[in-house]
Amino acid sequence: MDHQALEMDSGEKRLNELGYKQELRREMSLFKTLAITFSCMSVFTGTPLYGQSLRYAGPATMIWGWLVVTFFTWFVGIAMAEICSSFPTTGSLYFWAAHLAGPRWGPFASWCCAWLETIGLVSAIGAQAYSGSQALQMLILLATGTNKGGGYFASRSVFLCMYMGLTIAWAVLNTFALQVIAFLNIISIWWQVIGGFLMIIMLPLVAQPTQTASYVFTHFETSPEATGVSSIPYAVILSVLLSNYCLYGYDAAAHLTEETKGADRTGPIAILSSIGIISVFGWAYYLALTFSIRDLDYLYNEDNETAGALVPAQIIYDAFYGRFQNSTGAVIFLCIIWGSFFFCGLSVTTTAARAVYAVSRDKCLPLSPIWRKVHPRSKVPINAVWLCAAISMLLGLPILKLDVVFTAILSVSTIGWVGSYAVPIFARLVMAEDNFKPGPFYLGRARRPVCLVAFLWICYTCSIFLLPTSYPLRWKTFNYAPIALSVALALIMLWWVLDARKWYKGPVRNIDAQNGNH
């Protein structure tokens, strides 16, 4: 027995103490976990939002806003890292919420958190599929002769097919063993690092002449005639949405803790490293784009080479066409961006399936026994993977009629995903310190101020994603995220009050039966 105890992984030992037996394969290294987390965050995530953000309040707000958001994101990351170090389980966030909120509030906290997280992660697959389809649409357009030269611009129905195709491809790849995904994510980390470096260094070099530093760092202008937003503080808040959207997703490391060696140490390291890498890389990418702008108004013109559909694509096209009189370079760069969305969607699907598996293991979803089945050979929750894919495809159907689908899917995914961080962080803030068993990464006295700042920042982030993004309000431009979320959350709360509170007791321990035999 002692020999076994010596051999046992520190993460597995803590998992057993928490009442779970090891079911998933524990073979991921820190580098592989970091690769998946890094892919979930992705350097180019904000590409579809860049044009809008630039237009609300000019370059300076967007560039400095990134630094402000990064600063507050560190508080959230540090608070999460401390909790992850103490609770290395796959159900991560809602499991943390249940334990930290104590026996009285635990079931309710964990119920809210589990649902927020599931809604956020599943709609995040849709947000990535939309971004990937948009990059592909631009790629095809520029490769077949641009909007001015009779290139092919995908119609709404073709766009929807691209969206569906990406979602299905990710689901198929996710039915293989986690080793396959981990291998693809190692390609992904190099793809993003090398592609990111290429873009950040090459783009301003190709785009001669570039904008001046004073334009990029100090120029502020709102465009009320285009956006309908004339209030300066409101324009600034909307301009910074780009950064709020890019800087989350680092909890992916926590979802893989049951499959990672020494997870009580590697989980926190992966969370904090990915925030560090993405904040630096992302900022450099948006700087490179902004320095390379040729003619600001032309970027939004519907008669330009990219049909005014994706501003970064036009910036890249202008740079290469201005220098080499052809669009080959722009097509290559768009391939890098598209590849990044492909890998990002793949790892978000992995994370979403793990979350669905964990909440059905605790009987939180309807038809739980189906979703928690693990394939005997590959050890992957295949039914959960396809459930996530099916829901994301349904979310994409309004693409056929509405332009604001992306805003809505993106808002729902951010509010759900980031909102689920708030529950365990708030519980950690108010709980008695004696009830907390610290892991290797421990904040000590600093935890109250860190958790308070983190919690307030999450509340701010969630509220700004509910705001309308253009005026005057019309059916075609309306941000329907608040309605979708209110309906979903009302149903979930109603279910809790009428039925679930009677039987849902939070995470279900599955090790007690064995321990009784000792």
For the stretch 219-278, pLDDT in tens is 888 777 777 777 888 888 888 888 888 888 777 777 666 666 677 778 888 888 888 888
Mean pLDDT of the chain, nearest integer: 82
Tell me the C-alpha to C-alpha distance, in Å, between residue 182 and each of 63, 124, 170: 33, 20, 13
The two three-digit tokens of residue 175, written as one number: 């039915």
Residues in a beta bridge with 28: 260
Comparing C-alpha atoms, which of 475, 295, 312, 384 is closest to residue 24?
384
Residue 7's pLDDT band, with cuts at 50, 70 and 90, is: low
First to last CA, the chain: 11
State mean pLDDT over 498-511: 74
Alpha carbon of residue 115 to chain centroid: 16
Tell me the C-alpha to C-alpha distance, in Å, between residue 241 and each of 49, 65, 98, 464, 469: 8, 9, 31, 8, 10
Query: What is the spatial distance between Cα 235 and Cα 230, in angstroms, rounded to a whole number?
Result: 7
- pLDDT exceeding 70 applies to what percent of the chain? 87
Secondary-structure class of domain 36-502 per CATH: mainly alpha
Residues in a beta bridge with 353: none
Question: Where in 8-74 does DSSP place strands (E)?
Answer: none
Query: What is the spatial distance between Cα 441 and Cα 78, in angstroms, rounded to a whole number?
Result: 9
Q: How many helices (H) and strands (E) does the chain have?
A: 24, 0
Total count of residues recorded for the chain = 518
Q: What is the pLDDT of residue 257?
A: 66
Most confident range (mean pLDDT) of 22-31, 167-176, 299-308 is 167-176
Position 40: which residue type?
C
Q: What is the pTM for the complete model shown? A: 0.86
Q: What is the pLDDT of residue 214?
A: 87
3-state secondary structure of 464: helix
71-75: long-range contacts at Cβ-Cβ below 8 A with a sequence spacing of 24 or more? 72/453, 72/454, 72/457, 73/247, 73/248, 73/275, 73/279, 73/457, 74/275, 75/450, 75/453, 75/454, 75/457
Task: Specify whether the CB–CB gap between 211 and 58 falls below 8 A.
Answer: no
Would you call 105 exposed, middle or buried from its count of C-beta atoms within 10 A (0-12, 13-18, 19+)?
A: middle
Query: What is the spatial distance between Cα 66 and Cα 76, in angstroms, rounded to a whole number?
Result: 15
Residues 6+ apart with CB under 8 A from 149: 305
User: pLDDT for 45-67, tens place per residue?
Assistant: 888 888 888 888 888 998 999 99
User: pLDDT for 457-498, tens place per residue?
Assistant: 999 999 988 888 777 777 666 777 888 888 888 988 898 888
- pLDDT exceeding 90 applies to what percent of the chain? 16
Residues 6+ apart with CB under 8 A from 271: 37, 77, 80, 81, 84, 250, 251, 253, 254
Q: At what angle do helices 102-143 and 382-396 cross, to 10 degrees?
A: 60
Q: What is the pLDDT of residue 181?
A: 78
Q: Which residues of 325-354 are buried (b: 16+ CB within 10 A; e: fewer)?
A: eebebbbebbebbbbbbbbbbbbbbbbbbb
Examine the pLDDT at 331 and tell me if it is beyond 60: yes
Tell me the C-alpha to C-alpha distance, in Å, between residue 214 and each of 61, 117, 284, 290, 470: 13, 41, 16, 12, 28
Residues in a beta bridge with 260: 28
State mean pLDDT over 445-449: 89
Examine the pLDDT at 199 and tell me if it is beyond 50: yes
Q: What is the pLDDT of residue 376?
A: 65
**Residue 498 DSSP label:** I
Residue where the block lists tokens 């890389």: 281
Comparing C-alpha atoms, which of 265, 250, 263 is closest to residue 20?
263
How many Cα atoms occupy the beta-carbon half-sphere of 33 within 13 Å?
A: 30
Examine the pLDDT at 503 and tell me if it is beyond 60: yes
Where do the structural domains in the chain lie, given as residue ranges?
Answer: 36-502
